Amino acid sequence: MSALVCYDPWSLARNLAFARALSVGLRRHFGSARIAVVGPGDRVELDAATRVVVARTRDLALRRWLEQRVPTVLNSSLVALIGNDKLAASRWLNAHHLPAPRAIPASLELDDLLLRERVLKPRFGHGGVGVQRLPARSPTPLALDHWLVEPMYAGATRVLRAYVVGSRIAAWTERVATDGLAANVHRGATARLVEPEAGALALAERVRGLLGEGYYGIDIFAHEGAWLVNEVEDVVGARVLRANGIDVVGLVVEAVAHACGR
């Protein structure tokens, strides 16, 4: 039995040490493992021994292609879709009656949103890149479906992340914005390990139950006494876990082993 780890060139360059450590961990567990570098639109060579793929690329089409050929793919194409497309995530959360921020394409912005302060986000963005505050009554500068508009939520400056490993939540972190807008480490947010409040835990378990097993993050924040699902992170980072001595490679191997029933 062999495991395959797929990275796009950019992600591999930024995470080379982790990729190598993950390959070693998977090899110890499954007997064989390799890393494949996959560019946009590329496909990988698969052999009969490849029974599990860990996809660390955001290519949804590749994820679906792999699911048709390999018994176990982490994460699933569903997690890849809603973890990389904020509009798809909003629609999925609404369809499953999960509380979430109101998000609409910037090109369809409604008059009632124009009257208030709001947030503009890249639909396919990550790490808080491009997120900006729009004053009340100001026009949306980018009327494109690649941008989303949300009302301002005061609680969104403190975000809890649940790390799903296999079929369990293995750890929680808290990120607090320092710019009064986005609780992303790339934008200077502080981050630490925490124990979740009961409401956050219950909501994260609902999301996990619908998405299934894997290795991904569920971001949640509190607003006016209720918990909202901010987003799901497919290719989830783990710098806070590593900084606190948590064996992240071990967590990923655990998730893969659980998915394979080993």
Are 219 and 232 in contact by the 8 Å Cβ rule? The answer is: yes
Q: What single letter denotes the amino acid at residue 27?
A: R
**Confidence bin at 240 (pLDDT 50/70/90):** confident
Q: Give the pLDDT mean for 55-71.
A: 94
Residue 220 and residue 231: Cα distance in Å, rounded? 7
* Rounded alpha-carbon distances, angstroms, from residue 2 to 8, 25, 30, 97, 164: 20, 12, 6, 39, 23
Q: Give the pLDDT mean for 98-105.
A: 88
Q: What class, spelled out in words, does domain 83-100+154-255 have in CATH?
A: alpha beta
pLDDT exceeds 80 at position 143: no
Q: What letter would DSSP give residue 196?
A: P
End-to-end CA distance of the chain: 11
Helix H or strand E segment including 94: helix 86-95
In the prediction, which pLDDT does 108 show? 63
Give the range among 53-62, 105-114, 173-182 with minimum mean pLDDT.
105-114
Is residue 102 packed enough to be buried (19+ CB in 10 Å), middle (13-18) or exposed (0-12)? middle
pLDDT exceeds 80 at position 222: yes
The pTM assigned to this predicted structure is 0.91
Q: Give the pLDDT mean for 38-55.
A: 91
In the prediction, which pLDDT does 196 show? 96
Residue 72 and residue 257: Cα distance in Å, rounded? 10
pLDDT exceeds 80 at position 198: yes
**Contacts of residue 37, Cβ cutoff 8 Å, sequence gap at least 6:** 7, 8, 9, 12
Question: In what order do the strands lie in the sheet containing 132-134?
Answer: 104-105, 147-151, 118-122, 132-134
* Rounded alpha-carbon distances, angstroms, from residue 234 to 94, 140, 218, 219: 19, 28, 9, 11
115-136 pLDDT per residue, tens = 678 888 889 988 888 888 887 7
Q: Give the pLDDT mean for 143-155.
A: 78
In the prediction, which pLDDT does 110 show? 58
On average, the pLDDT of the chain sits at 89
Which of the given ranges, 39-43, 89-93, 182-186, has the highest pLDDT on average? Answer: 89-93
Locate the domains of the chain by residue range.
Answer: 2-74, 83-100+154-255, 104-151
